Amino acid sequence: MPGLQGITERRVGDVTILKLEGRLVLEESEIPLRDYVNQLVANGRVRIVLDMRNVTRLDSAGIGMLVSKYLTACSKGGSLKLLQPTVHSRYLLEITKLSTVFEIFESEDEAVRSFGVTPV
């Protein structure tokens, strides 16, 4: 299944912003995200923001992948934060009690600042 249709990377200081496009659901589509984040963390880039505004569908496997990569980043001293999840995605994070785990931001500047980095 096609699922996640794109991951676009941008860097602000040592913060990496990954813009996700498409569906993050159980159908192998969460695998590209896993591999991408693993590669970043292996290269020492552990401060990560996932731009979720264009994630059109999210399910338990997709959220599971977010949790897994959050733990990966945290285990190396970094973190993974979420930018602008849709209303439905945010609801799913709430009912799974994960809105208490993930830091969620409405603006990219705020998300970057939360890592102690000044946006450019």
Partner 1 sequence: MAANTASRRRILIVDDDRALRFVLSELLSDAGHTVDQAPDGREALRRLDAGAFDIVLLDIGLPDVSGLDVLAHARAVASPPIVVMMTADDTPETLIAAVRQQAYRYLRKPFAPTAIVEVIDDAIASAPSASLSIEVVSARPEWVELVAPCVLEMADRIQSFVMQLETNLPEPVRESVAQAFREMLTNAIEWGGKLDPQRKVRISCVRAKRLLLYRIADPGEGFNIDKLRHAAISNPVDSPLEHAMVREEQGLRPGGLGLMMTRSLVDELIYNEARNEVVLIKYLD
Tell me which residues touch partner 1 (CB under 8 A).
Answer: 1-2, 26-27, 30, 34, 59-61, 63-65, 67-68, 71, 88, 92, 95-98, 100-101
Q: Which is nearer to partner 1, 27 or 110 (CB)?
A: 27
3-state secondary structure 61-97: HHHHHHHHHHHHHHHCCCEEEEECCCHHHHHHHHHCC
Nearer to partner 1, 12 or 93 (CB): 93
- Smallest gap from Cβ 100 to partner 1, in A, equals 6
Contact 93, 85 (CB under 8 A): yes
